[in-house]
């Protein structure tokens, strides 16, 4: 069984956050502060423990876009 079988299109946000943090040398705390979410929520979304609401996804994507 492939390990990525649990990844679905809805979890692209998780990979986007991981890659963004890597590319910009940021921590979860910095992403949480910048997006105005709790660090616990960022952890849950990144680990795919739960799915981001449309509002949370918007906050995260706006922050990432603003950083370039």
Residue 25 and residue 55: Cα distance in Å, rounded?
Answer: 25
| H helices present in 1-68, as ranges | 12-24, 28-35, 39-46, 54-67
* CA nearest neighbour of 17 among 55, 47, 40: 47
Region at 2 (left for phi over 0; alpha for psi -120 to 50; beta for the rest):
beta
Q: Is the CATH code 1.10.20 the one for domain 7-67? A: no
Q: For residue range 2-43, what is the model confidence (pLDDT) as tens digits?
A: 344 344 445 699 999 999 999 999 999 999 999 999 999 999
Give the global pTM.
Answer: 0.81
Q: In the chain, where are the structural domains located? A: 7-67
The 10s digit of each residue's pLDDT in 57-66 is: 999 999 999 9
pLDDT, residue 68, reads 82
Contact predicate 34/67, CB 8 Å: yes
């Amino acid at each position: 069984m492939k390990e990525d079988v649990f990844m679905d299109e809805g979890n692209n946000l998780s990979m986007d956050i991981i890659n963004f943090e890597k590319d910009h040398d940021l921590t979860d705390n910095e992403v949480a502060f910048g997006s105005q979410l709790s660090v616990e929520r960022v952890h849950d979304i990144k680990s795919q423990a739960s799915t981001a609401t449309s509002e949370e996804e918007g906050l995260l994507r706006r922050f990432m876009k603003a950083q370039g």
